Amino acid sequence: MAKSEIPVVVGLDNGGNSNNATVLDASGRFLVDQLVETPCRVLEGPEAAVEALAESMQQVLTRTGTRPDQVRAVGLDTPGPASAAGVISSKGSTNFSQPAWRGYDIRSALERRLGLPVVYHNDGNAAALYAHHSFFGADAPKRSSVSAIVGTGLGGGVVERGQVVTGTAGMAGELGHVHIPLFGLLAEGQPVPTCNCGFVGDVESVASLTAIRRNLLPYWLTRYAGHPLGDLDRGRAARQVRAYGIDGDPMALKIFEQQAMALGRLFTIVANFTDPDGYFVGGGVVEATPEFRDWFLATVREHTTLRAEQAERARFALVPDLDMAGARGAAIAALKLLDGAATPVV
């Protein structure tokens, strides 16, 4: 880890159990190359959580030998739903379930606590921004991309000319709730999948951990009688599907093939709306062996229908540094506030 005397920004990634922090200097260089985690304390309420974010920032500054007076801005990301300005949804969310969180302006609260400008993105948008800049480098301001982040749900983001598209209410890039055609994706007799949001047949109802537990695994266990996962609690079994897939288990591969097909159909829709330069896939589904990651991405690409002119130019890749992508994307957003924000990030 290198020390720096030039101005820096800090990226803070707020998760369900911990905060992760990073430091990015004005030349576009990250000063930490690993997770720097601290407890997030979100279950203790907003005030405790904001204080925990401040503590996370102090820890990463100490770790990198950075003085507090070098910090010019802070980037923050949290799970959604939240507005583009960092106001947690009035309906709450999985992470921010307590009533005190509903409608809470976490960005402004952190800004007051730190006495520094704070920029905000949800975690999917932050990871998408990092993927975009990491892949395109100096060309990032000229390029566009879409990222699908497969986790408990399906997050992601749309980046146009190096900038995250947030939308008027901050809901742009909610890729999980885009409806996709299911003909040819579902197997014979397979029920139409439903999403926690109430939609039927959206991407998240197929491509997410929740989809495996709720929709995919119950069906495929009926086709593979006696499978070991049938003896486990459904939630535990869903979390083990990836390990079975990595080992080449036929049932698990059927499940992941359907998820890859769903992402391909999503990207086909995206291609007709934004025609991006890059299509990125991230999340737990690709936290696996290189062979499995390559197979999954190739299957996504196979099921993405592009015109010949698009296919010649489109790039398909994995979101890099998955566990650090949120904090790094948040830091890149903060760097844009500084002079020289167009400097390539390395």
Structure tokens at 186: 């579902």
Structure tokens at 275: 């025609």
Give all strands of the β-sheet with 144-150 in edge-to-edge order.
Answer: 163-164, 154-160, 144-150, 278-283, 315-318
pLDDT band at 344 (very low <50, low <70, confident <90, very high): low
Please, what is the end-to-end C-alpha distance for the chain in angstroms?
14
Which residues, listed in sequence order, are joined to residue 121 by a DSSP beta bridge? 77
DSSP state of 29: -
pLDDT at 1 over 50: no
CA-nearest of 158, 192, 198 to 262 is 192
DSSP state of 212: I
pLDDT the model gives residue 230? 96
Which residue is it, tokens 């010949």?
308
Question: Which tens digits make up the pLDDT trace of 162-190?
Answer: 999 988 877 788 898 999 999 999 999 99
Mean pLDDT, residues 107-125:
96
pLDDT at 4 over 60: no
Question: Which tens digits make up the pLDDT trace of 290-317?
Answer: 999 999 999 999 999 999 999 999 999 9
* β-bridge pairing 8-14 and 71-78: parallel
Question: Which tens digits make up the pLDDT trace of 15-36?
Answer: 878 999 999 999 999 999 999 9
pLDDT band at 286 (very low <50, low <70, confident <90, very high): confident
Distance CA 336, CA 313 (A): 27
pLDDT band at 153 (very low <50, low <70, confident <90, very high): confident
Burial class (CB in 10 A: 0-12, 13-18, 19+), 205: buried
CA-nearest of 173, 162, 166, 159 to 28 is 162
* β-bridge pairing 144-150 and 278-283: parallel
191 preceded by a cis bond (ω within 30 of 0): no
Helices (H) and strands (E) in the chain, counts: 10, 10
Mean pLDDT of the chain: 92
Which residues, listed in sequence order, are joined to residue 88 by a DSSP beta bridge? 82
Residue 161 carries which side chain, given as an amino acid letter?
A: R
Helices (H), the chain: 46-64, 106-114, 123-136, 209-211, 217-223, 234-246, 250-273, 290-302, 308-311, 325-335
Distance CA 114, CA 107 (A): 11
